[in-house]
A = this chain, B = another copy of it.
Amino acid sequence: MKLLDTIPKNDGFHMPGEYESHAGCWMLWPERPDNWRDGARPAQQAFTAVATAISRFEPVTVGVNQRQYDNAKNMLPDNIRVIEMSSDDAWMRDCGPTFVKNAEGIVRGIDWVFNAWGGLVDGLFFPWDKDDQVGDKVCAVERKDCYRTKNFVLEGGSIHSDGDGTVITTEECLLSKGRNPSMSKNEIDHNLCQYLGCDKVIWLKRGIYKDETNGHVDNICCFARPGVVLLAWTDDESDPQYEISQENYEILSNTVDSKGRQLEIHKIHTPKPVIITKQESEGVDSVDGTLPRAEGTRMAASYVNFYIANGGIVMPLFNDEKDEAAMAKIRELFPDREVVGILAREILLGGGNIHCITQQLPSSIT
């Protein structure tokens, strides 16, 4: 459990693609009543469904605050490992470690600086000190040495790696004033390559409309394999999402990856706008400094926010007429994986989705 201050790329480490082999999956347990309605009980049921689905494919560990330990143990099935771990909220993708791997199969963590998606500029709650320690704590449990980035703020949901030299991100997030305002785009690009062990960063512009994370890439675009991307899409020109998706499509069409490949782009249509109801809004505690969940707010619903497990995909559904087409598209792109859909409205209500609440631990298989 050494804390490393060297550079992963220089040490021969890179971030594998999520579709590469996993040793397991990490999650956190939702509880804060100022973000999750009805004392987080419906969210806990949804998280349980996600954890249960993933545990069919690979070992799952759920970190939980001490006061929720009994409840989490009782709600989660026996085959899921429940570990006490303090957090401020439940977004393991963003506050947890990003794992990198070398040619010998050694896996290490990167413990990014976490500031609740924007710190004092436009962060979503305060304080975030417990979330910021999650990366370190996960690495300790897994006995993985860990890189701690110095003054470099990043969330795991704002990057995707193809595992083959290319990383994708969004300007909306990585160039936001609440992350690394003193760094230029070139410096951030360089840092991503150094830490993720990649040679090229593809910069999309914006993420999903109304995404409170400042447009994390993991809600709008991901790799299905090297050279192949999925992009959240709409044909509805009256939807603000239309222009965002078009713009990103142009970028993806006019770039090559680090290996010189033109990208094969698959469009996956978003559901119709998902809106917070009066009942949902009223179920959330109102606390100064935490983003409110107001009735009538459009949520950042997207099918791209799925988790790739060993031999499976666990993807969000929204009880929408596009659910079926989205599942079919994912099945087509991942023909060797079983696709499991989870009704994810309760997760979305908290501000993210299935990919945001999970983090893969790569296996040591080379």
Q: Flag if A84 contacts B84 (CB, 8 Å).
A: yes
Which residues from B are CB-within-8-Å of A80? 1
Which residues from B are CB-within-8-Å of A83? 137, 140-141
Q: Flag if A1 contacts B137 (CB, 8 Å).
A: no
User: Bound complex: CA of A9 vs CA of B172, how far in Å?
Assistant: 61
Given the interface pairs A66-B66, A66-B130, the reply to whether A137 lies near B84 with Cβ below 8 Å is yes
User: Bound complex: CA of A141 vs CA of B62, how far in Å?
Assistant: 11
Q: Is A81 an interface residue (CB 8 A)?
A: yes
User: Bound complex: CA of A140 vs CA of B78, how far in Å?
Assistant: 10
Question: Digit string of A118-143 for contact with B (CB within 8 Å is 1, else 0)?
Answer: 00000000000010010001001101
Number of interface residues of A (CB under 8 A): 20
Interface residues of A in 178-192 (CB under 8 A from B): none
Q: Is A3 an interface residue (CB 8 A)?
A: yes
User: Bound complex: CA of A344 vs CA of B345, how far in Å?
Assistant: 56
Q: Is A2 an interface residue (CB 8 A)?
A: yes
Q: Is A86 an interface residue (CB 8 A)?
A: yes
Q: Flag if A133 contacts B69 (CB, 8 Å).
A: yes
Given contacts A1-B80, A3-B78, A84-B86, list 10 more A-B pairs with CB under 8 A.
A1-B78, A1-B81, A2-B79, A66-B66, A66-B86, A69-B133, A83-B140, A83-B141, A84-B137, A141-B141
15 contacts between A and B (CB under 8 A): A1-B80, A1-B81, A1-B82, A3-B78, A66-B130, A69-B133, A81-B140, A81-B141, A81-B143, A82-B140, A83-B141, A84-B85, A84-B86, A84-B137, A141-B141
